[in-house]
Amino acid sequence: MKKATKRFAVEIEENLPTIKGNFQRLEQVIINLIENACQALRDNEQGILISTSFDADHDCVEVKVRDEGAGITPENLARIKDPFFTTKRDAGGTGLGLSISATIIADHQGSLTITSERGKGTTVTICLPVIPRASGPQAKQDP
């Protein structure tokens, strides 16, 4: 990470609602997205930002990984989550990272979307559904 960028930031929104998920699998997704973001940077002055927020319209917690890298062409963006699709085969890419990540997020009833602009960077947005909050006299807390 230190070789890839001097500008790495994490912004965690306070009081996010709870999500249900497999910690190790979600961690695998975040690590993959950070590795991809690092590989997209052309020099270490370009930055990476990871942020979290609550999306009330979709009742989900959003995790965004943004990079200021090269960006992805529209042609590649259309295929980027396809198994074995890679633009990094010469550098050892297998084309499985984003495909597996999208599957993991789908297994959590969430979504993984990618937006990108050539020369400006890429944003990967994960949306994970929140656990409904119990309220009223019937509400119970876990022991």
The closest alpha carbon to 114, from 99, 95, 129, belongs to 99
What pLDDT, in 10s, does the model give residues 21-38? 999 999 999 999 999 999
What's 113's domain CATH number?
3.30.565.10
Structure-model confidence comparison of residues 141 and 12, the more confident one: 12
Which pLDDT belongs to residue 139?
Answer: 41
- The pTM (predicted TM-score) of the whole model is 0.87
Residue with tokens 């947005």: 125
In a domain, 143, yes or no: no
In a domain, 33, yes or no: yes
Number of domains in the chain: 1
Judge whether residue 143 has pLDDT over 50.
no
Owning domain of residue 70: 7-129
